[in-house]
Amino acid sequence: MQKRETKYVYCIIPGDERRVFSREGIGGPGNQVHTIPYRDISAVVSDASLEPPEPTIECVLAHEGVIEEVMAEHTVLPLRFGVVFASEARVKEMLAENYPQYKENLARLDGKVELGLKVLWGEEEIRREVERASERVARFREEMAGRAQESKRARGTPAMRGKGYYLQMKLEKDVTQLEQLVQEEMEVAREREALRIFQDLRGRAVDACLTRLLDQSMILNAAFLVSRGEMESFSQRVEELKSANVEKGMEFALSGPWPPYNFVCLEGKS
């Protein structure tokens, strides 16, 4: 069978070695992942059809799996899913055109990996914490209790029944205002606790960034660029934060190591 010229590109790595990896690429059985060197860097590729693959679960997992396998031995600059070049010559042109940028990023990411952290804090747990700790909520409840007592006394005094009616109406509005206040304080608590955790761990990483929250129970979704030698101490600090916040009902989920998608992901114009 004739070798296909079209190349699917997964990532860029340092080194000028022609190498064939054990893993098969997106192109299918027998389509081994290999390198295309240029000077002292290389593109990790596999043969492919000319059209970019559909982003099916199978193909996306294959793309990520190749990068993660290569990452075990090399610093990687991951490319986004679906980058296809018409030939090996075009891949080398891409490496040549972007050589200074690739060299700079490879040096910056050398010996580093990405760790992901998600922190969950359910609405009920946040509400309990707010009602326990918020001075604004406590003060408003005291004011409501005072108005309730005053309304009760006024209703028992004929001359004060008009005031009692007014106070009762005010108390009914207070219930709505209290819920609004609690919701505001819950949002403040979410942001405060997320920032506290992020800043604590940010100081233990080379770089860090916030990513999109996936639902209302998630207060923090972050990526941290960590030196391989600091992974154990970083994980230990996450465990300490987890233990310190267990009474608040927070859940911590640390994942990785991953390729540094959130710190460099190349477009790779074909």
Residue 268 has pLDDT above 80, yes or no: no
- Tell me if residue 17 falls in helix, strand or coil: coil
Position 132 pLDDT exceeds 80: yes
Q: Burial of 151 by CB count in 10 Å (0-12 exposed, 13-18 middle, 19+ buried)?
A: buried
- Section 123-144 average pLDDT: 84
Last residue of a domain, one of 81, 110, 139: 110
Per-residue pLDDT averaged across 234-250, rounded?
Answer: 96
| Number of domains into which the chain is organized | 2
pLDDT given for residue 111 in this prediction: 94
Of the pLDDT bands very low, low, confident and very high (cuts 50, 70, 90), residue 7 is: very high
Q: In angstroms, what CA-CA distances link 103 with 41, 96, 129, 250, 257?
A: 8, 11, 49, 41, 22
| pLDDT value of position 4 | 63
List, in order, residues 6 or more apart from 267 with CB less than 8 Å away.
79, 80, 83
Of 130 and 154, the one with more pLDDT: 130
Residue 205 has pLDDT above 90, yes or no: yes
Tokens of 225: 């660029």
- The answer to whether residues 35 and 93 belong to one domain is yes
- pLDDT per residue as tens digits for the range 182-203: 888 989 999 999 999 999 999 9
Q: For all residues of the chain together, what is the average pLDDT? A: 87
Are 99 and 41 in contact, with CB atoms under 8 Å apart? Answer: yes
In a domain, 154, yes or no: yes
Do 103 and 13 contact (CB within 8 A), yes or no? no
Share of the chain above pLDDT 90, in %: 64
Question: Residue 103: inside a domain, yes or no?
Answer: yes
Mean pLDDT across 200-211: 96
Per-residue pLDDT band at 166 (split at 50, 70, 90): low
Helical pair 123-133 and 135-155, crossing angle rounded to 10 deg: 70
Give the dihedral of Cα atoms 197, 263, 210, 243; nearest 10 deg. -30
User: What tokens were used for 91?
Assistant: 């891949």
Select from 75, 110, 145 the last residue of a domain. 110
Q: Is residue 266 part of a domain?
A: no
Residue 210 is predicted with a pLDDT of 96
Local confidence band at 3 (pLDDT 50, 70, 90 cut-offs): low
pLDDT at residue 1 tops 50: no
pLDDT of residue 128: 87
Q: Is residue 42 part of a domain?
A: yes
Q: How far is CA 107 from CA 32, 77, 139, in A?
A: 27, 11, 55
Residue 67 confidence (pLDDT): 95
Lowest mean pLDDT among 137-141, 171-175, 214-218: 171-175
What distance in Å separates the CA atoms of residue 36 and residue 175, rounded to the nearest whole number? 68
Are 221 and 192 in a shared domain?
yes
87 plus 121 within the same structural domain: no
Q: What is the mean pLDDT of residues 6-12?
A: 94
> Within a domain: residue 71?
yes
Specify if 171 maps to a domain: yes
Q: Assess whether pLDDT exceeds 50 at residue 246.
A: yes
Query: What is the structure's pLDDT at 256?
Result: 94
Provide the domain limits for residue 155.
Answer: 116-258
- pLDDT tens across 34-60, in order? 999 999 999 999 998 778 889 899 999
